Amino acid sequence: MTFEEFLSARLAALLRYATVLACDPHLGEDIVQEVMARAQPRWTRIGAAPSPEAYVKRMIINELASWRRRRASSVVPLSMAALDAVTEPEADPGPAVDERDAMIRRLAGLPVKQRIVLALRFYEGCSDAEIAGLIGCREVTVRSHAARALATLRKGVPTTTRIGG
Amino acid sequence: MVDDKIFEAYERLAAMAPAPDGLEERIAARARAHRQRRLLLASGVATAAVAVGVPLALRDRRSEPAPLQTTPPPAQPVQVLAPLMFTPSWFPAGVTEQYRSATFATATGPLMTMTPGALQGSERYWLPPGVRYVPGEPEPVGVRIAVSPRPRLDSGDRITVAGYPARLRRGETVAVEWRPWHASFPYVMVSVRGLPDAEAVTLRIARSVMYTSAMMTVTMRSPAVPASIGELTTAAVCPAASGWYQSLTHVSKDGRTSLEIVGQTAAPPDGVRFLVTRPDGVNLYIRDSAQPEARRMLESVELSEPDLTWVGDR
C-alpha cells in the first residue's frame, strides 16, 4: 500500500483516533498532520510493516505525549490566581457550560497517560496487554492508570483544565 | 453508569473529529516543508561558513584599510534578555519563525509584563519556506504577532477572542487585535497575509495565544546612547541572505525620540550617513539621524554573533 493509498483509506479514522486520544479535534488534527508528514519520508519501511496502521497509531500516541511535554516546557500559562491578584476578574462572557460535555471535560483533565489508556480501552476496545504494548509499559501499569482514571471520573469533580490544554 | 458516560463521551469526541478534506494536501505540504527545512539548514551552515570566511579572506587580501577600524569585539559576548510575552501555540502548516524583536528597559533588563502603563512590545514573524523578512521592506506573506502598549486597529468587526473583546479587520492582511486578560496587559495583534483560509487561520492562531516566559537573547549593546533617548530599547534579529541582521532601536519614554542602530553582515543600504565597518566585516550604521554624536554612539557599539537557534522553529 502506498502512502497516498493509506492516507486516502485511513485518514478519517486516524483523525477520529487522535481526536479521542487528545480530547480536542484541533489538537488531534495537528498531531495527525505532524505524524503523517514525518511518516511519509519513511513510508517504504512503515508500509512494509505487518500493520502500518498500528505503527502510525503508535506514532500518534508518542506524538501526543511528547507534544504535551514540549508545550509544557515552552509555554507558561499565566495562573488565574496571578491575574486575580492584579485586577478583578471579568465575568466570563462565554456560553453556559453544557452539562452534556461534562464527561469530555473530565476526560480532558486527566493526565495524558491515563487518558490514552482509557481511550484505548473504551474507544478502541483494546485489552490491557494490547494497551501495554502500544504505550510501552507493563500490564499492571495499564491497570493502575485505568483504575486511577476511573476513580477520578467517578468522583465527578470537574477539572479546570481546558480541553486540549 | 460511569462506563456508559465514558463510551458516550468518546462517541461524541469521535463525531467532533475534523473531516479529512484538505488535510492530505497539508500533509504533503508539511512533508515538503520538512525536506526544505533540512536543505535550508544544510545551506545555512554553508552560508555561515562563507559569511565568516569571506570577510576574513577579503580582509587579508586588501591592501587598503577598511573604511574605519573600531575597537575589536568584546571578549565576552553581549547578552541581555528581552521578554517575548505572548506566543501562539498553533500555526498553519509550513510556516516557521524567521524574525523576532522585543523591548526591554535599557538600564535594568527585562520589563515585567504586568507593569501597568509600561511601554513594551515585541514582534515575531513565521513565514513559509523560501520567504524572508527584510526589515524596512513590505510585510511578507506569513504570520505576524505583535504586542504593543496601544491598540493599532481602530476599525473592523467587533468579535471576541477567548471571551475578550477584539477587532477583526479583513483585507489583503487579516488582523485580529485584543487585550488578553485584563486592562494592564498590552494589546496583542495576530495578522496573516497571503495564506489560504487567512481569516480562519488568523482566528485559530489568536485563540491559541498564551503567555510565555520565554526570552529573546539580545547580543548587541550601545552604551554611548544618552539616557534621555535610551530608556527603552527594542532589539530585533533575523537571518539574512548573507548572514544575519540585528538592530537596537532606542526610544525615549514619551516615545517622541528614537534612534536605530543596525548591525549586519550584508552591505549597508545606500545613503546611510554614519557607517562603521568592523574588522570582522560587520557593518554598523545609524538610520535617519543627523545627530553629531551618532558616530561616537556607533563606535561604542558592542556586538556578538546573534542567537539564531530559534530560526525555523514553530
CB within 8 Å: A77 and B164? no
Query: What are the C-alpha distances in Å from A42 to residues A3, A11, A130?
Result: 10, 17, 25
In chain B, whose CA is at the least distance from the CA of A10?
B20
Neighbours of B142 (CB within 10 A): 24
pLDDT digit string, tens, across residues B113-146: 444 344 557 899 999 988 889 888 888 999 999 9
Which residues of B, range 93-122, sit inside 8 Å of A by Cβ? 93, 114
- Provide the total of helices (H) and of strands (E) in chain B, helices listed first: 4, 19
CB within 8 Å: A12 and B17? yes
CA distance A88 to B149: 20
CA distance A32 to A26: 10
DSSP state of A119: I
Confidence of residue B35 (pLDDT cuts 50, 70, 90): low
Does B23 touch chain A if contact means CB atoms closer than 8 Å? yes
Is the pTM for the entire model greater than 0.80? no
Type of residue at B150: R
Neighbours of A8 (CB within 10 A): 13
Confidence of residue B99 (pLDDT cuts 50, 70, 90): very high
Predicted confidence (pLDDT) at residue B258 exceeds the cutoff of 80: no
Name the nearest CA neighbour of B213 among B26, B82, B21, B29. B82
Query: Residue A77: what pLDDT?
Result: 39
Contacts A–B by Cβ distance under 8 A: 123
More confident residue, B153 or B228: B153
Type of residue at B67: P
Query: Residue A73: what pLDDT?
Result: 40
Rg value, chain B, Cα: 22
Query: Residue B125: what pLDDT?
Result: 96
Consecutive H or E run containing B173: strand B173-178
Type of residue at A120: L
- Provide the total of helices (H) and of strands (E) in chain A, helices listed first: 9, 0
Mean of the per-residue pLDDT values of chain B: 78
Collect all residues of chain A within an 8 Å Cβ-Cβ radius of residue B93: 33, 37
Confidence of residue B255 (pLDDT cuts 50, 70, 90): low
* ipTM (interface pTM): 0.77
Range B81-218: architecture per CATH: Sandwich (2.60)
Q: What's the length of chain B?
A: 314
Beta-carbon contacts of A153 under 8 Å, excluding residues fewer than 6 positions away, are A103, A106, A107, A110, B2, B5, B6
Q: List the single residue in B14, B164, B183 with the smallest CB-CB distance to A16.
A: B14
Q: How many CA atoms lie within 13 A of A149 on its CB side?
A: 27
Rounded to 10 degrees, the C-alpha dihedral B1/B2/B8/B14 comes to -160
Query: Residue A56: what pLDDT?
Result: 93
CB within 8 Å: A37 and B27? yes
Name the nearest CA neighbour of B81 among B107, B100, B109, B101. B109
CA distance A120 to A131: 7
Beta strands in B55-141 (DSSP E): 80-83, 86-87, 96-105, 109-110, 122-127
Give the mean model confidence (pLDDT) for residues B307-312: 91
Confidence of residue B148 (pLDDT cuts 50, 70, 90): confident
Biggest CA–CA distance in chain A, Å, is 59
Name the nearest CA neighbour of B298 among B269, B265, B273, B267. B273
Query: Residue B78: what pLDDT?
Result: 66
Q: List the single residue in A16, A86, A107 with the smallest CB-CB distance to B9.
A: A107
Confidence of residue B38 (pLDDT cuts 50, 70, 90): low
Consecutive H or E run containing B237: strand B232-240
CB within 8 Å: A75 and B183? no
CA distance B244 to B238: 6
CB within 8 Å: B26 and A33? yes
b or e along A114-141 (b: 16 or more beta carbons within 10 Å of the residue's beta carbon)?
bbbbbbbbbbeebebebbbebbeeeeeb
Domain with CATH 2.60.120 in chain B: 81-218
Query: Residue B126: what pLDDT?
Result: 95
CA distance B56 to B31: 38
Which residues of A, range 75-134, sit inside 8 Å of B by Cβ? 75-78, 83, 86-87, 89-90, 92-94, 100-101, 103-104, 107, 118-119, 122-123
CB within 8 Å: A76 and B211? yes
CB within 8 Å: B211 and A104? no
In chain A, whose CA is at the least distance from the CA of B23?
A33
Name all domains of chain A by residue range, CATH numbers in brackets: 1-77 (1.10.1740)
Q: List the single residue in B14, B26, B27 with the smallest CB-CB distance to A20.
A: B14
Please identify which residue in the block is written with the cell numbers 506569513.
Answer: B142
Collect all residues of chain A within an 8 Å Cβ-Cβ radius of residue B10: 20, 107, 119, 122-123
Type of residue at A125: G
Which residues of A, range 22-61, sit inside 8 Å of B by Cβ? 23, 25-26, 28-30, 32-34, 36-38, 40-41
Query: Residue B79: what pLDDT?
Result: 73
Residue ranges of chain A whose pLDDT lies below 50:
72-97, 99, 157-165
Does A16 touch chain B if contact means CB atoms closer than 8 Å? yes
DSSP state of B46: H
Min distance A34 CA to chain B CA atoms (Å): 8
Q: List the single residue in A15, A101, A103 with the smallest CB-CB distance to B6.
A: A103
Collect all residues of chain A within an 8 Å Cβ-Cβ radius of residue B204: 26
In chain B, whose CA is at the least distance from the CA of A92?
B163
Rounded to 10 degrees, the C-alpha dihedral B129/B130/B135/B137 comes to -120
Q: List the single residue in B10, B17, B89 with the smallest CB-CB distance to A28.
A: B17
CB within 8 Å: B17 and A90? no
Confidence of residue B37 (pLDDT cuts 50, 70, 90): low
